[in-house]
Amino acid sequence: MAATVVSMLRLCNTAFMLCVGLGKAMGRYRHHLSPLAGWLEFIGSLCVLVYLWEKRSKNEEKEPLLNDTKDLLNRLDAVGSVLIIAGLGVIVSTPKRNSIVCWTMLLLNFYLVSRSTSSFSVNHPIVKLAFLAVCVGVGAGLGLTWVGVDERHFYSGLKKWQKIV
């Protein structure tokens, strides 16, 4: 029963991060460094969503998208989770760090990463990698802020790209 609740929570969290990440990446949430964080969250959510889709299709004995690639799927799940957490780390490095939503999502994703391991241990390598991803995300956000990069740089590039398309 608890595994089902965690699976549903993970699916809802992934869908939420997918939508919010896409919104940030496309410029719907205009705050400092949101496009960078949005792309990290969006790509990470896509990776986790592929993992969850394959896991569900195997449980229902449907034809999976990928054939017999359990190790690849586990790595895809780990990479996706780490990208989501790195994106949240970028947001935590901005003035949005005062928002309870950012910290709640960060803690929820840490919990889900730790639950995705078989041992539910803080010493598991994926949990350590997730912690490192937060540190890298915060460092990247602070570094980009220090050199003067903000959302205007991202949005001006996005507007040029939209004119081309």
Q: How high is the pLDDT of residue 16? A: 92
Query: Could you read off the pLDDT of 105-154 as tens digits, one per residue?
Result: 988 888 888 877 665 566 778 888 888 999 999 999 888 888 777 656 55
Q: Which of 3-17, 18-32, 53-67 has the lowest mean pLDDT?
A: 53-67
**CA-closest candidate to residue 155, choices 13, 44, 36:** 36
H or E element that contains 113: helix 100-116
pLDDT at 3: 65
CA atoms within 13 A on the CB side of 157: 8
Q: What is the pTM of this model?
A: 0.80
